[in-house]
Copies of this chain bind each other. A is one copy, B any other.
Amino acid sequence: MTQNNRLRLRSGLSIGALAERTGLAVSAIRFYESEGLVHPWRNAGGQRRFERSDIRRLSFVMIAQKFGFSIARIREVMQRLPDRRTPNAADWRQISEEFREELDSRIAALERMRDKLDGCIGCGCLSMKACALYNDEDKAHEKGNGPRYLLGDEVATRPPAQD
């Protein structure tokens, strides 16, 4: 294993080794490559070889996913990492700053919505129209392909009975 490690370090990590180090499935790493999140080279036999810095790239991907960011968004932000040189701590800190800001505003939006929930659920406005919970904020659930037209139509002609 020790000798093994030494070999790996010389010629890049195999996909299996990277999977071990990150806890990801091998298939997930291949998928992330297809999504442009890592860019391994190939050895003589056509097998993928990764740099040690890819451990960190993939770790970052995992963290960002935990926070609910989509692969598209993660790819977008990671494209700001340096291309030529190996990213250093400052590079990582910089892009995580960006996530942090987005995260902050999402947490805040969620809190505002939560606060409105109390006032809204019991009231008639839940039957729609002008309810603050509808016309408001970015939803926690921003991705997706629903109708997304979310109101704007005519006003209720009758009082909000307790239906």
Could you list which residues of chain A lie within 8 angstroms of chain B, going by C-beta atoms? 2, 5, 20-25, 28, 51-53, 55-56, 59-60, 62-63, 65-68, 86, 88-90, 92-93, 96, 99-100, 103-104, 106-107, 110-111, 113-114, 117-118, 120-123, 126-128, 131, 133-134, 139-141, 146-147, 149-153, 157, 161-163
A128 touches which of B5, B59, B139 (Cβ 8 Å): B59
Contacts of A60 in B (CB 8 A): 121, 126
- Residues on B with beta carbons closer than 8 Å to the beta carbon of A128: 21-23, 55, 59
Q: Do the beta carbons of B55 and A127 come within 8 Å of each other?
A: yes
Count identical subunits in the complex: 2
Complex CA–CA separation, A86 to B153 (angstroms) = 26
A162 / chain B contacts, CB cutoff of 8 Å: 86, 88-89
Contact (Cβ within 8 A) A86 B146: no
Main secondary structure of the interface of A (DSSP, over half): helix
Give A162 to B131 CA distance when docked, in angstroms: 50
From B23, B104, B146, B150, contact of A149 by CB (8 A): B23
